[in-house]
Structure 1
């Protein structure tokens, strides 16, 4: 199972030209959750040079420190360099008027871009997987989005790569189990305060219950929309 997972990720990287060569140095965003732990492990298994970046937003008290300590222990065990940063999210929200979710995203990407500018790495790898893409599709659909939003997340956006975008959550968990790797769980994932959580915990499971196979069908539709978007983008480029 683990070898099959590695082969699937390797093929996805190659098919989507995510990494130009093994000379690239990849900054892996690590939260300590299952997705990012699997991402780090498989990228190391595939032979890529990695450095790890962990953000501590200090929003969950002791749990935030638990996550950072877990990342330290994991990186020590895998013999990979870990970079950490502490953020004051509440101050950012007061200054910008952003929601907590958007403030965290802005702080995270600003830091990552700074690491790229310093030459610490030339690519950022994040652990988005297939279910994340379906959730993004629904969020954009509910906002009234067109093709650009409905195409879902791209395998690569500038220097951001998503090597796990074609894998499922169950494949990720099976891979971690086969490698004996642990992970932490964010307690806020069970809260339905945020729209994405409501989609993940209520809406999408409801679709799957009433229409078995719905997740696979939606993921296939997203891939078609992404192909259409690429054709549209290529056509626009030719017109310029």
Structure 2
């Protein structure tokens, strides 16, 4: 049974989500504030986190930052903020998905299912990818840059897997979005931009002039070994 941590200070929404998630076979843990959420991630080891950004003690982005300091658990952010800058900030901090309030419970359940599938996916059929600067082991989920381990999030690994299956070939934005986030995605090009930039900062010797993770403007991305 998968365990879902619901972090929201609204008891009614907490209860609604808990009922829906349990009805679909999930174990549910709840937290009404940020500090409890961070503690729960460490102690309850959830398989996915649903995190509201509007919490009473800590801003949700700070909670996300603390979670990412020690865990790669998939995180779905909930927010009443519609501005694209807020979405990009959440993704940049390591969120796997972003759902704007108000939302349908069925939509959120679909996002949870997609996050669980992505979180459990492994690159068993991909050989390690080695460049002159870094090495990627997709089975062990281990990245090393100049011999030093670098932490990559599950979403970053999925993006690299999608690109490294066809090195030096263009992969369209739509194909990447569907491979990484699921079949309901296809227009969220800002997701790709955020994660590509994150990967360049972590892997490229000169992130401003990437040699390996190449953007083809308006088309997609390619990975050059």
TM over 0.5: no
Greater relative contact order (CA < 8 Å, ≥ 6 in sequence): 1
**Structure with higher strand content:** 2
TM-score (norm 1): 0.30
**Structure with higher helix content:** 1
